Amino acid sequence: MLTLLFDIDGTLINTGGAGGTALIEAFREDFGIRSPANVPFSGRTDRGIGTNLFEEHGIDDSPENWQRLRDGYIARLPVHLPQRDGRVLAGVLRLLEQLQAREAVAVGLLTGNLQDGARIKLGYFGLFEYFKFGGFGDDHRNRDGVAQAALTAAEQHANGSFDPNRVWVIGDTPLDISCARAINAKVLAVATGLHPTQELAESQPDRLLEDLSDTNVVLNALS
């Protein structure tokens, strides 16, 4: 069985910044931080971003504070999504439809998003139904841990037909590429996020495309 693990933001969809805005608003309002520090978001896990915010402002990175930030974010995300000019990225819907029609393909997620955040984002854009399993950023501060969780979920989903030599990660950041290497997966990188083709090429993905707009090209790359 061919296993495909998709990143979300910058690969499948662009929320117009709704996710980051909701998270920072939750941190600012629920923790009383008027001007939150700038911390990196691209390719990061939500748990890792939360840890960085807590460290920058001297807040205890406790399970209770993380739960508070998480709940605040999840409550605000559905409010911000309709306020932004978000979209499904070129070719994504057609690609997912084609993959869904193939019996020997398992399609899952490998994302730094919280599981609830992934459900809300993809549900808003009508894509959530295409993904049956995944690894998420609820507990892992780095993407390698998410990758391992996604691999474990893929094995369980395959019910005995999992082939570790036929696993691909599809993502738009150098961290997608490095976490794929951590689980010995191949990588299809797409320059649809914040990282241009040249930067992605430096991380040596197995395949590199400008976007997912040409379904046949994508399917051939993954075959």
Per-residue model confidence (pLDDT) at position 125: 98
Q: What is the full per-residue pLDDT of the chain (223 aa) written as tens digits?
A: 999 999 999 999 999 999 999 999 999 999 999 999 999 998 899 999 999 999 999 999 999 999 999 999 999 999 999 999 999 999 999 999 999 999 899 999 999 999 999 999 999 999 999 999 999 999 999 999 999 999 999 999 998 889 999 999 999 999 999 999 999 999 999 999 999 999 999 999 999 999 999 999 999 999 8
Residue 87 phi/psi, 5-degree rounding, is -165, 160
Sign of the Cα pseudo-torsion (34, 35, 40, 43, in order):
positive
- Using DSSP's 3-state secondary structure scheme, residue 201 falls into helix
Per-residue model confidence (pLDDT) at position 70: 98
% of the chain at pLDDT higher than 90: 96
Our CA dihedral for 35, 40, 44, 46, rounded to 10 degrees, sits at 0
Cβ distance 116 to 124 under 8 Å?
no
Per-residue model confidence (pLDDT) at position 62: 97
Per-residue model confidence (pLDDT) at position 76: 98
Per-residue model confidence (pLDDT) at position 160: 83
Alpha-carbon Rg for the chain in angstroms: 17
DSSP at 107: E
pLDDT digits (tens, 9 = 90+) for 110-137: 999 999 999 999 999 999 999 999 999 9
pLDDT digits (tens, 9 = 90+) for 88-118: 999 999 999 999 999 899 999 999 999 999 9
Per-residue model confidence (pLDDT) at position 159: 86
Query: What would the CATH number be for the domain defined by 2-15+87-222?
Result: 3.40.50.1000
